Each structure stands twice: as C-alpha cells, then as structure tokens.
C-alpha cells in the first residue's frame, strides 16, 4: 500500500510545526520553513505520494520564500499584490471611503430627483 498526502494532512502537519515556532518568547518561522523545504524535496523525489494535492514545487518554493522573509505577510502581499500588507489595507480603506462617498452622492441625487418630481 502506498502513502498519499492529502490537503488536510498537510494542514495538520503545518499547524504542528507552527505550534513549535510559537512556543518560544518571540515567534520564529524556522520549523515551518524546514517543514516546507522537506515537503518540497519529498514532492520532487516521490511525486506519486502527492497525487491528491494540487500544489506544484514552484508554488511551494514561493511559499518557502515568503516564510523566509523577515515579515512573511509582507512578502506574500508583495508577491501577489505588489505592495506590503499595510499598503494594501490602506488602499482598501481609501477605496471603501470613496465607495461610501459615492453611495452618499448617489442617494443625494435620488433625493433631489424626488423633490423635482
């Protein structure tokens, strides 16, 4: 019988190594990085064990690179959105405020139309 990884198993194992990283006074990422690197090596050496998982070694390498950065969340946001987490949240806040303003302007126009009629 052959062993097959599942998405759930990967998540469970990742949670376990995360607990190890968080058990120190200052959170580290060393166990998570080591886990991801060994997972990538296994994926390359024994791809049949990962038939149920839809992640490529290249995607796993991107994840390793993100977790290896001083601020993993910023590395992820830079790779995906081209800006840090704080920059993305600030941009979303501005867009939300502009949306609120546009909705208020629209309601104001509707009220003016109702007065005219």
Q: Is 48 left (phi over 0), alpha (psi -120 to 50) or beta?
A: alpha
Q: Give Cβ neighbours of residue 95 (< 8 Å, ≥ 6 apart).
A: none
Q: What's the mean pLDDT in 26-44?
A: 95
* 27: its two tokens: 């959170």
Q: What pLDDT does residue 115 have?
A: 63
Q: Looking at residue 3, what DSSP letter applies?
A: -
Is 70 exceeded by the pLDDT of residue 117?
no
Mean of the per-residue pLDDT values of the chain: 89
Cα 26 from chain centroid? Answer: 21
pTM here?
A: 0.75
Tens-digit pLDDT profile for residues 73-105:
999 999 999 999 999 999 988 888 877 777 777
Give the count of beta carbons closer than 10 Å to the beta carbon of residue 61: 13
């Amino acid at each position: 019988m052959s062993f097959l990884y599942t998405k759930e198993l990967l998540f469970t194992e990742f949670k376990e190594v995360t607990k190890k990283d968080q058990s120190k006074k200052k959170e580290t990422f060393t166990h998570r990085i080591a886990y991801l690197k060994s997972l990538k090596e296994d994926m390359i050496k024994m791809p049949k064990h990962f038939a149920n998982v839809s992640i490529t070694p290249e995607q796993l390498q991107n994840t390793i690179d993100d977790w290896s950065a001083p601020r993993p969340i910023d590395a992820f946001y830079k790779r995906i959105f081209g800006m840090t987490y704080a920059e993305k949240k600030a941009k979303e806040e501005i867009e939300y405020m502009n949306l609120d303003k546009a909705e208020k302007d629209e309601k104001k126009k509707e009220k003016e139309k109702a007065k005219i009629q």
